[in-house]
Chains A and B, each alone.
Chain A
Amino acid sequence: MSLVRETLTINMGPQHPSTHGVLRLVLELEGEVIVSCQPVIGYLHTGIEKEMENRTYHQNITLVDRIEYLSSYHEELAYCMAVEKLLGVEVPKRAQYIRVILCELNRIASHLVWLGTTGIDLNVSSLLMYCFRDRERILELFEMVSGQRMMPGYFRIGGVAEDLPEEFEHAVRPFLEEFPRRLDEYEAMLTDNLIWRRRHEGVAVLSRKDALAYGVTGPTLRGSGIPYDVRKAFPYSSYDEFEFDVPTGENGDAYDRYRVRMEEMRQSRRIVLQALACLPDGPVITQDRKVALPPRAELVRSMEAVIHQFKLVSEGIHPPKGEVYAAVESPRGEKGYYIVSDGSNRPVRVRVRAPSFSNLQALPAMIRGGMLADVVVAIASIDIVLGDVDR
């Protein structure tokens, strides 16, 4: 009697609670062991890159928010930095610090969503409530600053829309005071929890070699032991003036990625505290009238201001002919914008370099030979946003 070996092909998703959006995985199984995995993406493709070619540079800020919707501030920062680089505009120091404060708060908020949803995937459902309670406080701060909880549209080319409200510092301080205790609570619940560790340790291992080959960035890369962080390697927006550490893992498994993200939240808090302590005075947007709108008060007195206002609103800005690439460290990795300009008021090409896209590409390498149940852990541990994968 001969033994027949057969594999079973199953579909996971596109509608599956643990795929964090609309991701479909075609899994080939032998028993419960994964022989191969083929991610199928594109369910959330919105054509934002095409749309951006038909809008002015300022109008596009509204669109980029929607790509990586859990960290809109990073998205806006990357886009604005690319246009500023194209224009050669200097951003005032105060605006740079405000951007850093908001981006780091956004990193904490985004990592809290990751922690909560990972908890749900592993049946620690109370964790989601705790994490969303803390995240809600950050979103309230965002609402205070920009008027929106998500999709703020607060950064402008050359600075930010308005100065921070006076009550912002009084609101953010108590949160930052409390936050380490909250993190300690979560770590007490998880870090040495036997079930949590068994589900994470040695699961979804990504070797250094694979991580580099697939262009993986962010906490997923640092979990594999490579200390690459855009904030350190290519400092932008005054990041070189703050002290912070870049945590790294050793084994490249899901547990290391968990440890890296938990530590990153503490480091983000550290950066926000430093930025608040030495927040410089001055304008919050560039004084270049070809780039930023003139202040309201000037419009009633100066004809020139009215002309600038009219030109900027009706036509927008005209960057010089050329191409630039600018990148920031988003909660998921290197978020880059490659913009090609022909000198007109609309970009010829806006390319969004999405960290989730590259990180997801490494998923088959992570889970091959693993168990079916660990796929859920693997997806959660690379923390993808499908809006970012599909754009």
Chain B
Amino acid sequence: MSGSLTPVQAFLAERLGEQLRETHAFRGDATVVVDRERVVDVLRWLQDDPWHFQVLVDLTAWDRCPLEPRFEVVYHLLSLSRRERLRVKVRVPGQDPVVPSAVSVFAGADWFEREVWDLFGIRFAGHPNLVRILMPDDWEGHPLRRDYPLTEEPVEFQGHVPKVPSEIVPRVKPGRVDP
């Protein structure tokens, strides 16, 4: 917990206590990290009075590999009447990537959750139809995981070595002193 809390962060801190893992507002984006067991409750509270976070603008995830818990599922909420945004995050272990589904709160979570399942392999418990959405049905693996290599697709003709685009630009780690 750092700095002063926005009203909605303070509300969640009071309601959740220890189950609110972290709050911050980097560059003015109010963010809360909650326990995954409580995420559907949190979304439902925020949807109601007095917060009116009625729009689930975005639901996505990112892979923190090699850190553990490995995944972070990110909900971007919007309150039209308060003109306010809020980011809710849930940390998910790589061994057991399951999050309760938010479809019962926001109908629009349906496709977003299918996309996260498709690209990250995070399952949403209680989702009515959790099947792939962007990749072909028979695809193996979850492409946006960081251990999923980015290569050219294999081709039929011989003598062609697939390029690895990730080697084109070497990653430069932070912490070096620039001139």
**A interface vs B, CB < 8 Å?**
41-42, 45, 47, 49-51, 53-56, 59, 85-86, 88, 210, 212-217, 226, 228, 233-234, 290, 304, 307-308, 311, 315-316, 318, 321-325, 327, 334, 336, 338, 340, 342-346, 348-349, 351, 353, 357-358, 361-362, 390-391
Contacts and interface: CB of A to CB of B under 8 A. Distances in A.
A349 B73 CA distance: 12
B80 interface: yes
B171 interface: yes
A305 B49 CA distance: 55
Contacts of B70: none
B61 to A, nearest CB: 8
Chain B at the A interface: SS class:
loop
Nearest to B28: A85
Contacts of A321: 174
Contact of B26 (A213, A323, A346, A362): A323
A55 B150 CA distance: 12
Interface string B49-89: 00000111110101100000000001010001001010100
A316 B175 CA distance: 14
B160 interface: no
B143 A47 contact: yes
A361 B171 CA distance: 37
Nearest to A304: B179
B96 to A, nearest CB: 21
A321 B31 CA distance: 15
Contact of B57 (A49, A334, A342, A346): A334
Contact of B111 (A45, A88, A357, A391): A357
Given A54-B168, A304-B179, A358-B108, A318 B174 contact: yes
A336 B76 contact: yes
The winner among B31, B108, B171 for most chain A CB atoms within 10 A is B108
A315 B174 CA distance: 11
Contacts of B63: 349
18 contacts: A42-B135, A42-B136, A54-B169, A59-B169, A86-B27, A215-B58, A217-B57, A234-B83, A308-B179, A318-B172, A318-B174, A323-B87, A324-B26, A324-B29, A325-B85, A345-B171, A358-B111, A390-B134
A336 B76 CA distance: 10
Contacts of B135: 42, 45
Contacts of A318: 172, 174, 178
A342 B54 CA distance: 31
Contact of B133 (A42, A213, A351): A42
B116 to A, nearest CB: 10
Contacts of A311: 178-179
Interface-centre pick from A41, A88, A215 (highest chain B CB count, 10 A): A215
Nearest to A210: B107
